[in-house]
Amino acid sequence: MFALGEQIGGQLRPGDLLLLNGPLGAGKTLLTQGIASALGIEGVTSPTFVISRIHKGAVNLIHVDAYRLVASANPNLSLDDLDLDSEREEAITVIEWGGAESARLSDERLEIDI
């Protein structure tokens, strides 16, 4: 999965959006680590508890784990609260547990089901 992420990461450009879907343990974070490696970024871990991290590099990587947003019964907790639009054009954005709410961020996106 890491090697596949490196291949994908080598093709990405600022403004690109990837939505990763799959069950727990499927390799979403490992794929993201490979993408980060292709961008020269190390130290990527799952942002499950912080929900979103921006990893600095020549091209920044915005890494979101939307699981808690999707599974939340709290109507005050949403993807909009992360203010991703202000950073997305200059970065590559990877959203784990993307789902329908994440898909509305852009009509142009790559969705990967693992």
CB 112 within 8 A of CB 19: yes
Instruction: Tell me the per-residue pLDDT of 16-62, one tens digit each, with 9 for 90 and over.
Output: 999 999 999 999 999 999 999 999 999 999 887 778 899 999 999 99
2-113 CATH: 3.40.50.300
Helix or strand run (H / E) with residue 69: helix 67-71
Asked whether the predicted pLDDT for residue 103 surpasses 80, the reply is: no
Using CA atoms, how far apart are residues 40 and 49, in angstroms rounded to an integer?
24
What is the pLDDT averaged over residues 72-101? 73
- The predicted-structure confidence for 1-13, as pLDDT tens digits, reads as follows 999 999 999 999 9
